Amino acid sequence: MKQRIRYGGLPGATLLGLLKKRTVAGDWWKGSSQNVYYTHKGRCGLGFLCKRWNLAAGDEVLAPAYNCGTEIDPFVHYGCTVAFYRIDQNAVIDLSDLIRRVTPRTKAIYVTHYFGWPQDLALLKEFCREKHIYLIEDCALSLFSDPKDCPMGHFGDAVIYSLPKTLPVPDGGALAIKEQLHEDLFTEKPPSSAIGKKMLSLLKRAVLRFSDRIGLFPFLPMRLIQSRDDGDAAPITPSGLPEMPKTYYYNHRIENMGPSRITRFILRHIDPVEIVRRHRENFSFLSKTVAPVPLFNPLYADLPDGVCPLYMPVKVESRREVCSRLNAMGIAAMEWWAGFHRGFDWAEFPDARYLKEHVLAIPIHYQLHRKDMDYISACLQSLANFVGGDPQ
């Protein structure tokens, strides 16, 4: 069903921001001990690692059972055996389960820092060093997070990032790696039609935001208003789960592509300090709303120093209904990672499956202002008595 979405889950283009400030994109990389290479998408870095480290048939990659699927598929594409390890219902790595699954064929361990919160990798890093296993850190959801007490993006032999999840860019990922690589990597240009399409949707979000600010939103023609289309039901995987979208599977043709010129341009006008400040402020504000409402079980109760939250993730029993209601109120809440990779079976991982079926992501990004957060907060409170049917 089409919905009038007023409060998007992602930032839109920011024309004023582009005029305002000029920074050097490279300056804001916290993993300064690593070499950083911009890519067209985060997954390009993973395909590249498979080739660089000769990860292929016969090799095993251990990956978290709570995953999007996009980050797993490059390894599948290159013929590796991907085995899952347990993530608990708080989205924390079960280290003893992980270690138990290591075999002589394990060549890489993949860890994901979810929504900006760090996994504690101090022991795992030592383990990987002793066993000569590559450690890959996924910071796709954690750009700009730099918690002092629990470093992230520093331990991995390689780290990947996905820029459009945090920034108003049409494409872009980054690979941070300890090795020094040739500068002529990732030089192919991404297709301009795809970038154009993404730019249109960024501009549309900017128009919506601006119209809302000056009170014109209700007068916008319906066809201009960003909409979400639930579309047809997802296909079912061989293990009977709804499948992730086709575009999440790896397409090796993008592997050598770098980011578009427009992304490179926008990156030079980004102010990470301000982005982190606002994400934290919005998260803290919503936390107070959500805490007293039993319907919402926050995935993270605390906001440690240095964490840049990407969304406000909450576990909700009747996720589909709650999400539709919030969408109908104009809030782009998302059923996070609802689709499953068709090559895997989650029977052994009920906790990860629980997260995939219950986590709802509520937008808190930096372009949402106090007025927007007041509205989102009021909508969340209005669902306080929702128990899977109508509010009681």
Ligand X SMILES: Cc1ncc(COP(=O)(O)O)c(C=O)c1O
Interface ranges with ligand X (CB under 6 A): 41-43, 68, 70-71, 112, 138, 140-141, 162, 173
For residues 12 and 42, which CB has a smaller minimum distance to ligand X in the complex?
A: 42
How many C-beta neighbours within 10 Å does residue 297 have? 17
Give the nearer residue to ligand X in terms of CB position, either 244 or 316. Answer: 244
**Cβ neighbour number for residue 290 with a 10 Å cutoff:** 18
- State the minimum distance, in angstroms, from the CB of residue 237 to ligand X: 18
CB of 42 to ligand X, least distance (A): 3
Joined tokens for residue 252? 């090796």
| Gap between the Cα atoms of 43 and 108, Å rounded | 16
CB of 70 to ligand X, least distance (A): 4
Cβ–Cβ < 8 Å for 333, 323: yes
- The continuous run of DSSP H or E covering 158 comes out as strand 158-162
Nearer to ligand X, 4 or 77 (CB): 77
In 3D space, the residue among 47, 11, 51, 43 whose CA is nearest the CA of residue 174 turns out to be 43
Q: How far is the CB of 93 from ligand X (least distance, A)?
A: 14
CB-wise, 143 or 276, nearer to ligand X?
143
Q: Which is nearer to ligand X, 173 or 272 (CB)?
A: 173
Q: Between 139 and 225, whose beta carbon lies closer to ligand X?
A: 139
Q: What's the length of the chain?
A: 392
Of 262 and 379, the one with the shorter C-beta distance to ligand X is 262
- Closest to ligand X by CB, 30 vs 43, is 43
Q: Rounded to the nearest whole angstrom, what is the least distance from the CB of residue 141 to ligand X in the complex?
A: 6
Closest CB to ligand X among residues 162, 260: 162
> In the chain, how many H helices and how many E strands?
11, 11
Shortest separation between residue 297's beta carbon and ligand X, angstroms? 21
> In the complex, what is the shortest distance from the CB of residue 41 to ligand X, in angstroms, rounded to a whole number?
3
Listed in sequence order, the DSSP H helices in 53-118 are: 73-77, 95-100
Stated as kind and residue range, the H or E segment containing 322 is helix 319-328
Cα separation, 106 vs 95, in Å, equals 15
| Dihedral angle sign, alpha carbons of residues 82, 83, 89, 94 | negative
- Direct distance between the N- and C-terminal alpha carbons of the chain, in angstroms, rounded to an integer: 25
**Cα 192 to Cα 170, 195, 259, 261, 362, distances in angstroms:** 11, 5, 11, 10, 31
Residue with tokens 């520093």: 154
Least Å from the CB of residue 138 to ligand X = 5
Q: Which residues pair with 110 in a beta bridge?
A: 136
Kind of pairing, strands 359-363 and 311-315?
A: antiparallel
CB of 296 to ligand X, least distance (A): 22
